[in-house]
């Protein structure tokens, strides 16, 4: 199934070692790129914000997934970050893909990935996209309503259908069940309709909400999925796959979530049932760091308090890669990369470890007042135009939802590094 051999006992140490190496490589790449810019003479856009991506981080996340969720075959949610090198690595690792549109399907097929490794996980699909999926043999797709079944009958009667059910996603960052998922009261009718239309239902899908935080949501969803599996089997469908969706975080909560889910799967689904998942942020959130340039500064003197603070304007904001603040409810943490002439901060240490004296608010470059990255943060030095900040954990739902509002670019360079030789070898980076 995939090319990694992971040795359980060594994995924890390998991950710690890799994470340290990752910081070093990212730090060197950030510094190298910024040093190469002549801020006084550079061409338009040369000082644009840029990412550094550690593909080794993505590789380690995959090892961690295999160790903790061995039964669940990941289908990476392309929407989260369709970075071509990330997709290439994941394709090399043999995992599947969750696509939600024609463009995403096309991007994956163009890498030579077998259509059987793709699930078109969008319960409400555009008709021409369904025709495209049919023409290219992307058979697996989700549905959650009767209208979609009629559409499928008309356009792709051979599709392998997954009935997406509602979950309790109230403890997640981004709730999806307000929009998608069949209520359990309605699944019997939907399955009966699918039978009457002679359609091929093969599985159940759910999503516990993106950025899920309550493991109990997974247990309930697995139990509900079992209920719907039994309903479908009673109608004669040959059910073979459960899709547990995404929602996994990359922080320490992953292990708990994975343990709870694995146990529930073993209780409710015998080993012959294939289990797939659609992780997005889990794979990429921590792999991407962004560096932004201070393009302007406003001094705010408070005569009453006798204090001076500063508003810093960066060349990226919520209409750009910081769209995750609006859409994904994130709070990216600014850190100083370069302050003053030749003062570099070591990215392995947090900027907050040095005494902080001055208050700043951090703003994006557009004309809109909503374009704020941080309303208050403290930094040690008097930062000024020409300095650079960086933000870690910027890989999920960032550049994929950036706009060109105000004429700012939505396409930013990515400098790739690789802290894992295994990933480098797969990509020919070594």
Using CB under 6 A, which of 121, 166, 373, 394 touches ligand PLP? 121
Nearest residue to ligand PLP by CB is: 246
When asked if residue 246 is in the footprint of ligand PLP (CB under 6 A), the reply is yes
98 binding ligand PLP? (CB under 6 A): yes
Only one of the segments 57-65, 207-215, 293-301, 366-374 lies at the binding site for ligand PLP (rule: CB under 6 A); that segment is: 207-215
Among 96, 245, 332, 364, binds ligand PLP (CB under 6 A): 245
- Is 281 a binding residue for ligand PLP by CB under 6 A? The answer is yes
Angle subtended at Cα 334 by Cα 210 and Cα 309, rounded to the nearest 5 degrees: 130
Number of chain residues interacting with ligand PLP (CB under 6 A): 17
Return the axis-axis angle of helices 127-135 and 146-155, rounded to nearest 10°.
50
Residue 351 touching ligand PLP (CB under 6 A) = no
SS3 269: coil
Among 87, 93, 161, 176, binds ligand PLP (CB under 6 A): 176
Separation of alpha carbons 298 and 385, rounded Å: 10
Tell me the C-alpha distance between 399 and 319, whole Å. Answer: 10
Per-residue contact flags (x/-) with ligand PLP for residues 21 to 40, judged by CB under 6 A: --------------------
Considering only CA atoms, which of 85, 134, 137 is closest in space to residue 111?
85
Among 181, 215, 247, 395, binds ligand PLP (CB under 6 A): 247
CA quadruple 400, 401, 402, 407: dihedral sign: positive
Beta-ladder partners of 97: 76, 118
215 is a site residue for ligand PLP (CB under 6 A): no
State yes or no: residue 77 binds ligand PLP (CB under 6 A).
yes
Q: Which of 99, 174, 292, 367 is catalytic?
A: 367
Distance CA 120, CA 135 (A): 13
Q: How far is the CB of 280 from ligand PLP (least distance, A)?
A: 3
Residue 224 Cβ vs ligand PLP, minimum distance, rounded to whole Å: 16
Picking from 285, 282, 373, the residue whose alpha carbon sits closest to that of residue 335 is: 373
- Whether 385 and 294 have beta carbons less than 8 Å apart is answered as yes
Per CB under 6 A, does 278 bind ligand PLP?
Answer: yes
Torsion of CA 162, 168, 172, 178, to 10 degrees: 70
Report the residue number, 61 or 315, with the smaller CB distance to ligand PLP.
61
Asked if 80 touches ligand PLP (CB under 6 A), the answer is yes
Quick count: other Cβ atoms within 10 Å of Cβ 295? 16
Nearer CB in complex with ligand PLP: 280/320: 280
From the CB of 343, what's the least distance to ligand PLP, in Å? 37
Nearest-angstrom CA–CA distance, 328 and 396: 9
Rule CB under 6 A: is residue 282 a binding residue for ligand PLP?
yes
Q: Is residue 399 near ligand PLP by the rule CB under 6 A? A: no
Q: What phi, psi does 189 have (nearest 5°)?
A: -65, -40
Q: Which stretch binds ligand PLP (CB under 6 A): 155-163, 240-248, 294-302, 353-361?
A: 240-248
Whether 6 is catalytic is no
Residue 181 in the binding site for ligand PLP (CB under 6 A): no
| 207 binding ligand PLP? (CB under 6 A) | yes
Token pair of 275 as six digits = 């289990």
End-to-end CA distance of the chain: give it in Å, rounded.
24
With tokens 């994941």, the residue in question is: 90
Nearer CB in complex with ligand PLP: 133/337 = 133
Among 143, 162, 248, 388, binds ligand PLP (CB under 6 A): 248
Quick one: which H or E segment has residue 284?
helix 281-284
Element (H, E) at 106: helix 102-109
- Which residues bind to ligand PLP, rule: CB under 6 A? 77, 80, 98, 121, 176, 207, 210-211, 245-248, 278-282
Catalytic residues: 367
């Amino acid at each position: 199934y995939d090319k990694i051999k992971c040795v359980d006992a060594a994995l924890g140490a390998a991950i710690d070692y890799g994470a340290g190496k990752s910081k070093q490589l990212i730090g060197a790449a950030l510094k190298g790129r910024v040093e190469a810019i002549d801020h006084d003479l550079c061409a338009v856009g040369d000082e644009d914000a840029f990412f550094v991506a550690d593909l080794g981080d993505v590789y380690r996340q995959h090892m961690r997934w295999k160790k903790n969720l061995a039964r669940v075959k990941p289908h990476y949610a392309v929407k989260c970050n369709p970075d071509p090198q990330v997709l290439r690595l994941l394709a090399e690792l043999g995992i599947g893909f969750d696509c939600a549109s024609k463009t995403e399907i096309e991007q994956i097929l163009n890498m030579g990935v077998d259509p059987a490794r793709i699930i078109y996980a969008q319960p409400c699909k555009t008709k021409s996209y369904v025709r495209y999926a049919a023409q290219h043999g992307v058979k697996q797709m989700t549905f959650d309503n009767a209208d979609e079944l009629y559409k499928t009958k008309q356009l792709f009667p051979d599709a392998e259908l997954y009935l997406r059910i509602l979950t309790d996603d109230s403890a997640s960052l981004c709730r999806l069940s307000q929009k998608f998922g069949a209520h359990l009261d309605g699944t019997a009718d939907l399955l009966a309709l699918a039978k009457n239309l002679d359609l091929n239902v093969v599985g159940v899908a759910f999503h516990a909400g993106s950025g899920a935080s309550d493991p109990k949501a997974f247990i309930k969803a697995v139990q509900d999925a079992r209920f719907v599996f039994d309903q479908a089997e009673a109608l004669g469908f040959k059910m073979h796959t459960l899709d547990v969706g995404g929602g996994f975080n990359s922080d320490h909560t992953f292990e708990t979530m994975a343990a709870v889910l694995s146990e529930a799967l073993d209780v409710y689904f015998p080993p012959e049932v294939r289990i797939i998942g659609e992780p997005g942020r889990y794979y990429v959130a921590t792999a991407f760091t962004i560096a932004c340039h201070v393009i302007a500064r406003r001094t705010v003197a408070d005569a009453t308090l006798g204090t001076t603070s500063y508003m810093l304007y960066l060349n990226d904001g919520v209409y750009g890669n910081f769209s995750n603040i609006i859409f994904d409810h994130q709070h990216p943490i600014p850190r100083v990369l370069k302050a003053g002439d030749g003062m570099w901060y070591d990215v392995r240490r947090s900027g907050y470890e040095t005494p902080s004296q001055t208050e700043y608010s951090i703003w994006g470059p557009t004309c809109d007042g909503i374009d704020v990255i941080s309303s208050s943060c403290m930094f040690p030095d008097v930062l000024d135009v020409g300095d650079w900040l960086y933000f870690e954990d910027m890989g999920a739902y960032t550049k994929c939802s950036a706009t060109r509002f105000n004429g700012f670019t939505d396409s930013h360079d990515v400098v790739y590094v690789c802290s894992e030789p295994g990933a480098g070898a797969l990509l020919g980076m070594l």
